[in-house]
């Protein structure tokens, strides 16, 4: 095969790894994703680098840990000179486009300091973390912040929806008995159908825009980041997905009384957040979770259409597909809502890689339980595109999955996966009396043990082998002293190994070692 | 005083802290620097952030550790969006100029990626780590690399020196009995006078250029980085400084046989370098050290002239003066030449701060033995210039010395100082069989103990109280287990505290904490 494959990089926002049929959910219907898992490799132990949108995505797009790229939370600009996927793929001949969400915040100070016009073509790329914004939509548009010129708002108006912000009034609202708007931001409305027709919904629109990009691009190799806004809140699904699932389809909440009675101080502070208190109530879970599941099935249906489209266009055998998410959703597990901390429902992500070429036949339909990280995708894509990810190991911190997908599990692989939190922006930080730069936490897992280091607080430790639900924190058991020390040491080594000398490659260092004398710089010569 | 003071930031290259009269050297003559110490505060425990030119200077200019700014060795470009002293002082109304050396390597890849023309005024500033290059000269110009258009070369030709590169042939060469050139790069010639006349030497020229800058700038507040190339090698001094000191003026080498018989593996690899083998020979020390001392006294004489100049121009009471160096020079101590490792001759630097204003009268002529780091200067200058260094604590990692200079020793101060090495470029790395990203070492000291963590090797520990000469590595004594653990823990904490979330201030985070709901982003609301 002389032509490198297209790269279809699909992300669903806030999609839990275990809410897929192929990952064991007993009732959810995700036949198209399951079919992709049968065609590819399902990585069952994949972790995001930060269980919150912005930093997780910046890790996906840079191939670097949050501690390295620095955009540690939503709204923290990515440094203007951080390299992203587009910087690597465009020189290899790819069109690198975005349809959907990135949660990128551009570094306006940096651009101004360096004289970069945000509206220039380069400025636009930098502003969109290296993607050509074929369609950018981060999907959170309350009326206070809404832009009537948002393409999706324009589209909805063209379909006859009224108002400045039909994203809110149609796609993310229901209608009451008297025709009044019932906002989807309020979870008490999440069992109602969105006012938007399904074919006009965000997921449907986003899928069509992906098809537009593929069609427009034609023969040039492309990488499309197709980044769905759902099943992230507001949890509003259009009919019929709002009523596809019922209480009998729900998994019970994973939680114990002991967790609430004797919590870790940081977890306790998160438990006191509004979203955690609400999701601890059954009434809330029962309104939200069936809809959350419906949104996933809706997404799956549209992925089915997209795959048919690829097939029709003759692209199926030319296109490597990745399906993942930026983080999960507690949905009341562990008495928590949302994400940010490191339990599996929050930090673990789905990761399915489909390589249609004959080279990958050996792994087709397999599951791989080696530790995978979100940062692995950039080197994977670089290798698929015909580049050499190893030559970028002074910047990229992930490991290419190319070999795992073509040859199967690797004999030597990483021993640990890491994830990070910076909760400076959350009320928990103030409740704990911490300064903005003290509210950090780090997860390290070797696959069996999960260790969480909290700045200014004692650590947590879970044994995933005996306690896969992470109900018992065993950090303080004497018998675990050795494993705790080992994981803390791994974390400390990890910190020392961050790639911060990014402006010169290791290959170049190797070439230059001991060469000063050759350049006439004699020192210590008699 | 309404007008902020001028800032004269003087650096001597490779000047050991203990080679000044005011720091206890028994024979060296540095009367003008000693006089400055009597007018200011002499910080006796100041450390550079990396005992090698490039990374040390990038720390001086960014206010950040090498692990944070990433330019970990000579020739590693400083990331294009790293902020430097000029970025902070120019908005406060300062002209920020350079006369002399920076060892800056510009980030050409980054500039090209971001569309910055290196020849534009912004590109020039970025290329010179934020300084206006009134006169840039890094001072190492072997014929192979020399630029005939170097201003100092042009100057020397105007004075009648011949050839393309009189830096080499006049300023850094002597003359043999038959008129042949004897290159100063060879230490066997270092006892001979340079061919250049003293008034045309680098140190003299650099001082005059500083005067030109000050004169040209006039009434605008200025910060001048006056960065002398000497006493860095080539160790060539013009007459009469080449013969000002004799063998009787030399300090004995600080070294023991035990150090050589049972060395630490990394130190041993450095001992096997040419410069270490040569400096371990008395013949070499006896050729080099008297000249090294002569170069320091020459520098001191020119500083005397410069201070007279300030006085004549009425600037003495308006100018804060700092004298420091980027690192020291082993000169054969510990069987080592050059620098790079962390013994006091290499990692400790002189640091004298003279604040002429009445506010600093209380500390005038005092010594301060609190732990000071090179990165402290940027926040110090920001505060002197009327800025607020605290508001920059998401980027700056140093601490302002302003309070220590005006009020005296601080009650609470840092507990540890750090310094780093990346010796990937040196033969020692290959001898140890390490990859380019494995050759790192970190020093942490609490003032009494000095602990050195080597990646892939056992640590070292010295007790500066009982062994100020650092002749006995006591890392492996059981009795020191606790202190070793404490310093290793301090290093690990330090890694976790690196300022990498540089694009948003802590003040702004504080303002935004818990405000998502106010912006209409409702989550977890029933």
Distance from the Cα of B185 to chain A's closest Cα (Å) equals 6
pLDDT at site B147 = 87
Residue B105 burial (CB count, 10 A): 20
Which range marks the domain in which residue A365 is found?
A: 6-512
Question: B-chain residues within 8 Å CB-CB of A425?
Answer: 509, 512-514, 516
pLDDT at site B3 = 87
Cβ distance of A116 and B113 shorter than 8 Å? no
Q: How far is CA B344 from the centre of its chain?
A: 14
Strand order across the beta sheet in which B417-422 lies: B417-422, B440-445, B449-454, B457-463
Distance from the Cα of A522 to chain B's closest Cα (Å) equals 6
CA–CA distance, A396 with A59 (Å, rounded to integer): 10
Check if A70 contacts B (Cβ < 8 Å): yes
Question: A-chain residues within 8 Å CB-CB of B435?
Answer: 506
Cβ distance of A81 and B495 shorter than 8 Å? no
Is A436 within the bounds of a domain? yes
CA–CA distance, B26 with B248 (Å, rounded to integer): 11
Check if B504 contacts A (Cβ < 8 Å): yes
Tokens 């019932």 locate to A182
pLDDT above 60: residue A29:
yes
Check if B460 contacts A (Cβ < 8 Å): no
Strand order across the beta sheet in which B46-47 lies: B348-349, B46-47, B372-373
Cβ distance of A513 and B81 shorter than 8 Å? no
pLDDT at site A420 = 98
Is B110 within the bounds of a domain? yes
Cβ distance of B394 and A284 shorter than 8 Å? no
**What percent of chain A clears pLDDT 70, i.e. is strictly above it?**
100
* Number of residues assigned to chain B: 526
DSSP element (H, E) containing A172:
none
pLDDT at site A145 = 87
Is A346 within the bounds of a domain? yes
Which residue in chain A has the smallest CA separation from B75?
A: A504
pLDDT at site A494 = 97
In this complex, the residue of B144, B510, B525 whose CB is nearest that of residue A186 is B525
State mean pLDDT over A295-300: 98
Residues A47-57: tens digit of each pLDDT = 999 999 999 99
Cβ distance of A501 and B70 shorter than 8 Å? yes
Strand order across the beta sheet in which A95-100 lies: A132-136, A95-100, A222-228, A6-12, A319-325, A351-354, A41-43, A366-368
Show the tokens assigned to B254.
Answer: 């600080």
Cβ distance of A144 and B503 shorter than 8 Å? no
Cβ distance of B70 and A526 shorter than 8 Å? no
Query: pTM for this one?
Result: 0.97
SS3 sequence of A304-336: HHHHHHHHHCCCHHHEEEEEEECCCCCCCHHHC
pLDDT above 80: residue A287:
yes
CA–CA distance, B6 with B217 (Å, rounded to integer): 11
Question: B-chain residues within 8 Å CB-CB of A503?
Answer: 70-71, 76-79, 107, 109-110
Question: A-chain residues within 8 Å CB-CB of B502?
Answer: 70, 79
pLDDT at site B148 = 85
CA–CA distance, B345 with B23 (Å, rounded to integer): 13
In CATH, what number is assigned to the domain containing residue B16? 3.40.720.10
Give which of B286, B503, B510, B512 to mutate to test A binding, by max A Cβ within 10 Å: B503
Distance from the Cα of B359 to chain A's closest Cα (Å) equals 32
Is A261 within the bounds of a domain? yes
Check if A75 contacts B (Cβ < 8 Å): yes
Cβ distance of A81 and B113 shorter than 8 Å? yes
DSSP B201-214: SHHHHHHHHHHHHH
DSSP element (H, E) containing A54:
helix A53-62
Which residue in chain A has the smallest CA separation from B107?
A: A503
Low-confidence ranges of chain B (pLDDT < 70): 1
Tokens 């800056």 locate to B104
Give which of B428, B513, B515 to mutate to test A binding, by max A Cβ within 10 Å: B513
Interface predicted TM-score (ipTM) = 0.95
Tokens 């002569």 locate to B294
Which residue in chain A has the smallest CA separation from B337?
A: A524
Give which of A120, A418, A509 to mutate to test B binding, by max B Cβ within 10 Å: A509
Cβ distance of B185 and A522 shorter than 8 Å? yes
Question: A-chain residues within 8 Å CB-CB of B281?
Answer: 526
In this complex, the residue of B77, B435, B502 whose CB is nearest that of residue A503 is B77
Q: Which of residues 162-201 of B touch A (CB under 8 A)?
A: 185-188
In this complex, the residue of A114, A185, A492 whose CB is nearest that of residue B81 is A114
Cβ distance of B525 and A274 shorter than 8 Å? yes
CA–CA distance, B291 with B201 (Å, rounded to integer): 14
Check if A140 contacts B (Cβ < 8 Å): yes
Is A168 within the bounds of a domain? yes
Is B142 within the bounds of a domain? yes
Mean pLDDT for all residues in chain A: 97
CA–CA distance, A226 with A323 (Å, rounded to integer): 9
Which residue in chain A has the smallest CA separation from B110?
A: A81
* R_g (Cα) of chain B, nearest Å: 23
CA–CA distance, B182 with B303 (Å, rounded to integer): 29
Residue B91 burial (CB count, 10 A): 10
Cβ distance of B513 and A424 shorter than 8 Å? yes
Check if B72 contacts A (Cβ < 8 Å): yes
Q: Which of residues 145-164 of B touch A (CB under 8 A)?
A: 145
Is A272 within the bounds of a domain? yes
CA dihedral B332, B338, B339, B340 (to 10 degrees): -120
pLDDT at site B141 = 93
pLDDT at site A332 = 98
Question: B-chain residues within 8 Å CB-CB of A504?
Answer: 75-77
Q: Are strands A6-12 and A222-228 parallel, antiparallel or unpaired?
A: parallel
Give A422's strand partners. A440
Cβ distance of B394 and A437 shorter than 8 Å? yes
Is B1 within the bounds of a domain? no
Question: A-chain residues within 8 Å CB-CB of B87?
Answer: 113
Which residue in chain B has the smallest CA separation from A234?
A: B523
Cβ distance of B110 and A422 shorter than 8 Å? no
The total of structural domains in chain B comes to 1
Distance from the Cα of A120 to chain B's closest Cα (Å) equals 10
Closest CA to A14 of A289, A419, A355, A379: A289
Distance from the Cα of B126 to chain A's closest Cα (Å) equals 8
Distance from the Cα of B504 to chain A's closest Cα (Å) equals 6
With 0-12 / 13-18 / 19 or more C-beta atoms within 10 angstroms meaning exposed / middle / buried, residue A90 is middle
Distance from the Cα of B234 to chain A's closest Cα (Å) equals 8
Question: A-chain residues within 8 Å CB-CB of B110?
Answer: 81, 503
Check if B429 contacts A (Cβ < 8 Å): yes
SS3 sequence of B433-474: CCCCCCCEEEEEECCCEEEEEECCEEEEEEECCCCCCCCCCC
Q: Which of residues 339-368 of B touch A (CB under 8 A)?
A: none
Check if B15 contacts A (Cβ < 8 Å): no
Check if A434 contacts B (Cβ < 8 Å): no
Cβ distance of A524 and B140 shorter than 8 Å? no
Residues A500-517: tens digit of each pLDDT = 999 999 999 999 999 988
């Amino acid at each position: 095969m002389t032509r490198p494959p297209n790269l279809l990089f699909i992300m669903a926002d806030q999609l839990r790894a275990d809410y897929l049929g192929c990952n064991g959910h007993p009732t959810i219907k995700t036949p198209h994703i399951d079919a992709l898992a049968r065609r590819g490799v399902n990585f069952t132990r994949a972790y995001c680098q930060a269980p919150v949108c912005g930093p997780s995505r910046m890790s996906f797009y840079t191939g670097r840990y949050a501690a390295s790229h620095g955009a540690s939370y939503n709204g923290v600009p990515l440094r203007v000179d951080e390299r992203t996927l587009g910087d690597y793929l465009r020189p290899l001949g790819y069109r690198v486009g975005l349809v959907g969400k990135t949660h990128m915040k551009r570094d306006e100070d940096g651009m101004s300091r360096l004289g970069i016009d945000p509206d220039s073509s380069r400025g636009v790329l930098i502003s969109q973390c290296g993607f050509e914004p074929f369609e950018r939509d981060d999907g959170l548009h309350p009326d206070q912040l809404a832009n009537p010129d948002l393409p999706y708002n324009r589209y909805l108006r063209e379909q006859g929806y009224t108002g400045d912000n039909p994203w809110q009034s149609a796609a993310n609202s229901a209608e009451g008995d008297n025709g009044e708007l019932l906002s989807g931001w309020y979870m008490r409305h999440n069992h109602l159908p969105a006012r938007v027709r399904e074919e006009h919904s965000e997921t449907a629109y986003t899928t069509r825009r992906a098809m537009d990009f593929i069609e427009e691009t034609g023969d040039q190799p492309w990488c499309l980041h197709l980044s769905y806004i759902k099943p992230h809140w507001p949890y509003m699904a259009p009919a019929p997905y709002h009523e596809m699932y019922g209480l009998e389809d729900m998994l019970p909440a994973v939680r114990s009384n002991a967790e609430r009675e004797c919590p870790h101080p940081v977890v306790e502070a998160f438990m006191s957040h509004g979203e955690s208190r609400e999701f601890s109530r059954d009434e809330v879970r029962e309104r939200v979770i069936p809809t959350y599941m419906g949104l996933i099935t809706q997404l799956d249906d549209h992925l089915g259409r997209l795959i048919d489209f690829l097939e029709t266009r003759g692209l199926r055998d030319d296109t490597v597909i990745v399906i993942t998410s930026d983080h999960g959703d507690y949905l009341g597990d562990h008495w928590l809502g949302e994400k940010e901390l490191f339990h599996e429902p929050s930090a673990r992500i789905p990761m399915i890689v489909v390589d249609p070429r004959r080279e990958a036949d050996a792994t087709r339909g397999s599951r791989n339980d080696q530790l995978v990280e979100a940062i692995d995708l950039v080197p994977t894509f670089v290798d698929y595109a015909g580049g050499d990810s190893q030559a970028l190991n002074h910047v990229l911190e992930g490991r290419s999955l190319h070999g795992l997908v073509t040859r199967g599990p690797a004999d030597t692989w990483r021993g640990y996966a890491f994830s990070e939190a910076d909760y400076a922006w959350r009320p928990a930080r103030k409740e704990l009396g911490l300064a903005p730069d003290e509210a950090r936490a780090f997860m390290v897992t070797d696959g069996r043990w999960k260790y969480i280091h909290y700045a200014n607080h004692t650590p947590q430790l879970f044994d995933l082998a005996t306690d896969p639900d992470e109900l018992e924190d065993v950090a303080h058991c004497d018998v675990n002293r050795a494993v705790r020390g080992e994981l803390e040491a791994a974390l400390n080594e990890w910190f020392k190994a961050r790639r911060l000398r990014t402006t010169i490659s290791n290959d170049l260092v190797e070439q230059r070692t001991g060469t000063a004398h050759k350049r006439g710089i004699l020192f210590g010569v008699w």
